[in-house]
Amino acid sequence: MPRRHRKLIATVAVAVTAAAVVKELRTPRDRRTWHGKVAGAVPYDFRMPTRRRIRDRWWNPGGPVLSPRAFGVGWDPNFGRIASEARRAVSHL
Q: What is the pTM of this model?
A: 0.85
What pLDDT does 2 receive? 86
- Domain, as residue range, for 77: 3-91
What DSSP string describes 30-51? GG--SEEEETTTEEEE-SPP-H
What pLDDT does 34 receive? 98
What pLDDT does 22 receive? 97
Task: For the chain, state the CA radius of gyration.
Answer: 16
State pLDDT tens for residues 69-79. Answer: 999 999 999 99
User: Looking at the 3D structure of the chain, how many domains does it have?
Assistant: 1
